[in-house]
Amino acid sequence: MLIQSILVAFWAWFNGMVVSEYLVWIVRGAPLVSGTITGILMGDWRSGAMIGATIQLLYMGQVTVGGISSYDKSYAGIIATAVTIASHQTPEIGITLAVALGTLGLIASNIFMTVCVAFVHMADKYVEEGKTNRIWIYNWLLPNLLCGLLWGIPAFLAVYFGSSYLEAFMNHIPAFVSKALTTVGMILPALGIAMMLKTVFNPRFSPFIVVGFLCVAYLHMDIIACALLGGACAVLYWTLNLDKLTEGGN
C-alpha cells in the first residue's frame, strides 16, 4: 500500500500543478480520466474506471465560472477513487465519498489561490530590481511546491491511513446506514445528468431519452452498449440533418 500511496500522491500533485493546467485541463481533470489513471496506479484499472465514470456523471452538469468550481477535481476524482479502491467499496460509496472530499478540497483550492497572490507580489520585487531571471521561483517553483503540500500529502495520508479506517467503519455501521449511503450514491449521478439536461435539453431529443431508458430498464443493456447506441443515434441524426445544420438551421 505504501507504493500505491506514493504514486497516487504524485498523481494528485501533478494534477494540481501550475504547469499541468495548460495540458488539456478539462480532459485530464475529468474524474473519468483521473479515476482511470488512479485505478491503474492502484492495480485495479477496471474499478478506477467504474468509480471515475460514476463520479463524472455527478459533475457532468457542473460549470466553472471565473475559475470558481463547486468541487476540487483532484480530491473528488483521485483521492476518493483511490480510497474507495483501497477499502474495497462500491462505486456508489465512492461517489458519496467524492462529494465530501470534493467539497473539502475547495479549502485547499482557496488556500492555494490566496497564497499565490502573495507569491505574485514577491515576484514584483524582482521585476522592480531588474532580476527577471528569478521570477520563476515565485511564479512556478513555490506554487508547485505548495501544490504538493495541499494535494500530494493529503492524497498520501488518505490512501495510506484512511482506507483501513473507512473499510473498518463500513464493516461496523448498521446495514440500513450502508444501504442509505448506497442509495444516495445511486441518486447523485441522476442529479448530475439532470443538471446537464436542464442546460442543453431540447424537446425534439426527448424520444432518444425514452429509448435510452427502455434499453436500460427493460432490455437490461449495460452502460457501454447504451453509449454506443447513443453515439450511433447522434451520428445518424447529424447525417440526416446535415443540410439544415450547414445552412444554419436548428
Lowest mean pLDDT, pick from 146-160, 166-180, 226-240: 166-180
| Highest mean pLDDT pick, 40-49, 184-193, 203-212, 223-232 | 40-49
The answer on 150 and 171 residing in a single domain is yes
Burial 159-196 (b: 16+ CB within 10 A, else e): bbebbeebeeebeeeeeeebeebbeebeebbeebeeeb
Based on the fold, state whether residues 49 and 79 are members of the same structural domain. Answer: yes
Q: How many domains does the chain have?
A: 2
**Per-residue pLDDT, 89:** 84
Q: Are residues 69 and 81 in the same domain?
A: yes
Which DSSP symbol is given to 68? Answer: B
Locus of grid cell 459533475:
59
Distances in Å between the alpha carbon of 228 and those of 220, 234, 241? 15, 10, 20
pTM (two decimals): 0.72
Domain span including residue 242? 202-249
Mean pLDDT of 174-197: 71
Tell me: do 52 and 131 sit in the same domain: yes
Please indicate, yes or no, whether residues 228 and 172 belong to a single structural domain of this protein.
no
172 vs 21, more confident? 172
- Do 88 and 212 share a domain, yes or no? no
